[in-house]
Amino acid sequence: MTTFLYGANVAANGIRQHYLRYGGADGVHAKRPAIMLIPGITSPAATWGFVGDVLGRTHDTYVIDVRGRGLSSASDTLDYSLDAQAADVVALVAALGLRAFSLIGHSMGARIAARAAGHTPHGLESVVLIDPPVSGPGRRPYPGKLPWYVDSMALARAGTDAEGMRAFCPTWMESQRQLRAEWLHTCDERAILTSYEGFHTDDFHADAARIAVPSLLITAQNGDVVRDEDVAELQRMIPAMLHTRVPGAGHMIPWDNATGFYAAFGDFLGVSLQP
């Protein structure tokens, strides 16, 4: 049985922010912090719905469309910077009236979560960073190449299907590729270009060092986004940060190894997750 409740829009930080809600705040959920799940650079909320569905079994869960993606605001004049994205999260939490919550971010979403956590929003209890790009000033470039994003978005804007996405996501199941084909056109190219540039100009490590709540780092065994030396550096900066590496998974961890992905949380969220 699905835990999906509804999709909704709210005015926060001067824009329309769209989210999908799972689980609700009744029963045992009321005793646990809500979860705000922040997807990656070209992942509208709908493409992370299967993860929201699982998190919704144990927590009141909100999967958000980052500005310029999905059904949230996008425009020629919108600020797509990391600062604006982080401010969106802080404002959305306030608009929803969440008294206690955890931030879970994947890839770009992890970088947004780290910067948002630096603002120490009231009620923040923990942060989970899932395979965050560790690129930045003076560091090695992000391994994902820009044409992969630009070319696949152009194909989606023209109209494509699961088979059309195969060249870009050859290891994904047909249902996963179909969902990407359906939603990728909603990603504003200007937003993606700005975020990709930010992977190399924003200082993720400085943001991570300011996280003052319990934190968990989940990384992929494959994909070369977060190496062992990167994990060691982050744990030197934040000695209390926990870490789990998911075997047999690339950057899109729950797509490749769902069981390993949920197991990686352990009891960090106060209860174990089951796929």
Please state the rounded mean pLDDT for residues 82-110. 97
Rounded to the nearest integer, the mean pLDDT of the chain is 97
Instruction: Give me the pLDDT at residue 272, please.
Output: 96
What whole-number percentage of the chain has pLDDT above 90?
A: 97
Please state the rounded mean pLDDT for residues 109-128. 95
Instruction: Give me the pLDDT at residue 190, please.
Output: 98
Domains of the chain: 4-139+202-263 (3.40.50.1820)
Model confidence pLDDT, tens digit, residues 1-57: 899 999 999 999 999 999 999 999 999 999 999 999 999 999 999 999 999 999 999
In order, the DSSP letters of 155-224 are HHHH---HHHHTTT-TTS-HHHHHHHHHHGGGS-HHHHHHHHHHHHHS-HHHHHHT--S-EEEEEESSSS
* pLDDT higher than 90, residue 181: yes
Q: pTM value?
A: 0.98
* pLDDT higher than 90, residue 119: no
d(CA 37, CA 155) in angstroms, rounded, equals 27
Instruction: Give me the pLDDT at residue 120, please.
Output: 78
